[in-house]
Amino acid sequence: MIKTRFSDRSKSRQQGAILLSTIIVTFVISMLAGSYLYLSSGEYRMSHRTFNRGASFALAEGGIDYAIHALNSNHSTGWTVSGDTWERALYDFLVSEGTVGHVKMKILGASSRTPVIYSEGTVLISNGPPVSRQIKVQLESSSSGGKLNTSLIYAKAIDAAGNNILAAMYNSKNGVEGAVYYDLETRSWRRNYDDSLRLVVDTITTDTLGNMDVFGWVVTREGGAIDFNSKGGTFKYNSFFDLDRGIATTDRVTDDFYGSFEPIVAPDNLGNVSRTSPVFVAAEGGGNDVKTATMDGTSNYIFSGEDEVLSVANGDALNITGDVIIVVDNEGTINIKGDLNIQPGASLKIYTDGDFIVTGVVNNSNVAENFQLYGMNTTENEQLFKLHGNSRMTAFIYAPRASGELKGGGNEGEFEGAILMDEIKITGNYFFLCDAALGAVDGLINVGGNHIVNEWLELDDRTAQTAKYSM
């Protein structure tokens, strides 16, 4: 009996201990589960806030890029301008589902050599306070920004279907192409040709350069490919720098191009505008009755219309005798059948969103810097540049959304200078002669811009130097 009671009491104590252990384990598990849920919730809140901080910083950096582009293009449209201060805000950027952000920008000393940009990116959170990051950038005008260097032919796609197409370089500072000059650097006489051209085809698919002979390099994006026919390829010069006796090479096709080009806008502070009529015919007639018209640089011109707004008839001429700027909007057409002459010491800049057609001779000065042609149309391949027949043109063309149609005539068409378009199609006999002198001209295109960053600072209120700016 005593043994039975002792056994029952022992079992009872064991059951109690087991029950207590179960309660303790359950409590510990509950505590751990609660802690895990709390930690998970905290980690979620922390990661969510970290994401939004990163997003606000990206918005602020985007604001810096946006402001630098406005400065480089000297375009204040859309900005609130007060003296030398520009301000702008952009709203409703979708950051994530249900979360939006905005960016505020301010430029101080916009016309000075050392402008300062403040940019603040803010992400608005539905269940919490907004998250903001702010950046200050000190700029300095660069004498070397925006240089073209040696990438003098650029297109997203090139279709060279002509019989005999050649691309080479020369330097107008050393005289006309092919002339013999004394090179001070090498202390030797040489011919004015250069085989360091970079023809850039911005594509990752195979592009056809046909029978094109390129005295230089052909460059694509990573993974791109170029298809030459049996007579085409890349070449380097022999010791005589002879176009007819180039040395074929297979090591001048690379895929290391990166970069992008955006349409440019006309300057919005254009002064001395004397004509806004929809049509300006430079000269009419032809034959023995040669007529000329002159733009002398005392005025700039704005043409607006859907039809032909500027034309030079066959056999006639338009002479540029000063520094002239022409703006064509509403997709008006320029048609040069005769001669467009840019006289020594003069220059012409054309900003157009319409078609540009040449069957005559444009810029017989043979100095590409003197004639700069900018395509403003933002719709891909809606704007057309035609160089047909035995036309000859010397220019710097920047039209990154335009389509180029280059068609040689009975002898050959010829283009001297530099050309950048969305796509270029070449038929017939054609000669590209790229001017290396353009590589020393500042501000031709906004690659790197004409400002350099002298100081970059995130403002976080941690020190007096990083105190936030009131936006």
pLDDT the model gives residue 293: 79
Going from the C-alpha of 72 to that of each of 83, 300, 437, 438, 464, the distances in angstroms are 18, 21, 22, 18, 31
CA distance 309 to 315: 19
Segments of 211-284 assigned E as strands: 213-220, 225-228, 233-236, 247-249, 253-254, 273-275, 280-283
3-class secondary-structure state, position 155? strand
Q: For 86-139, where are the alpha helices, taking DSSP H only?
A: none
CA distance 115 to 33: 56
Q: Which two tokens stand for residue 349?
A: 């800049």
pLDDT the model gives residue 391: 84
pLDDT the model gives residue 260: 67
CA distance 164 to 32: 80
Q: Which two tokens stand for residue 244?
A: 């007819």
Q: Which two tokens stand for residue 471?
A: 């936006």
pLDDT tens digits, one per residue of 192-220: 888 888 888 877 666 788 888 898 888 88
pLDDT the model gives residue 267: 83
pLDDT the model gives residue 424: 92
pLDDT the model gives residue 4: 46
The conformation of residue 423, written as its DSSP 8-state character, comes to E
pLDDT tens digits, one per residue of 327-360: 998 888 999 988 899 999 999 999 999 999 998 8
Residue ranges of the chain with per-residue pLDDT less than 70: 1-49, 73-74, 141-151, 204-206, 239-241, 245, 258-260, 274-290, 409-411, 442-450
pLDDT the model gives residue 136: 94
Q: Is 56 exposed, middle or buried (0-12, 13-18, 19+ CB in 10 A)?
A: buried
What is the enclosing helix (H) or strand (E) of 400? strand 392-408
pLDDT the model gives residue 419: 92
CA distance 373 to 266: 11
pLDDT the model gives residue 73: 67
Q: Which of 422, 374, 425, 364 is nearest to 396 (CA)?
A: 374
